[in-house]
Amino acid sequence: MTPDDRAGLRSAPTRRAIALIIEQPGRPGAPEAAAGRPRWLTVRRPDDDPDLPGVWGLPAGSHAEGETDDALVRRIGRDKLGVETVDLGPLSDGCVDRDGYRLSMRLHAARVVSGDPHVPQPVPGVTQYSAWRWQASTALRDGAERGSLCCRLALDMASEPNPRA
């Protein structure tokens, strides 16, 4: 990357976003739980997604002007998964440069408090997922290799000796 390229990235707009780690509830004694490998709610981006077509990742959304983290966590649940979620707090954060902007993302733990996930939702103007499922964190490797920041952050966190989610 040339100095001019780096200067252009510094002046590129930053998009703030949150991705959610939602652990599958109520599976005590399941093999993955017994081995300390929880299953997370993962979503598949649509095939026509401009950044990561067809990639499995975590539910995520970009902040609206003045939107709090708690409000965004609730909106991701409602508008993208059809559920009510509660924010359990931040886990990690990171940035990646995309074509024309910088993505600054925080990974938050969240819990579904009402409803069962279903996709897509009838909400225009936001990325709607084509599928969802409960999966081990290892299912995010392909997304991380293809440039998904939420996948990379989640895998980094999962590889810590005492992960927080």
What lies within 8 Å, CB to CB, of 58 at 6+ separation is 19, 20, 21, 40, 41, 42, 43, 107, 140, 150, 151, 154
Average pLDDT over residues 117-143: 94
Average pLDDT over residues 4-24: 79
H or E element that contains 142: helix 141-145
pTM of the model as a whole? 0.85
What average pLDDT does the chain have?
Answer: 88
pLDDT digits (tens, 9 = 90+) for 30-77: 555 545 568 999 999 999 988 899 999 999 999 999 999 999 999 999
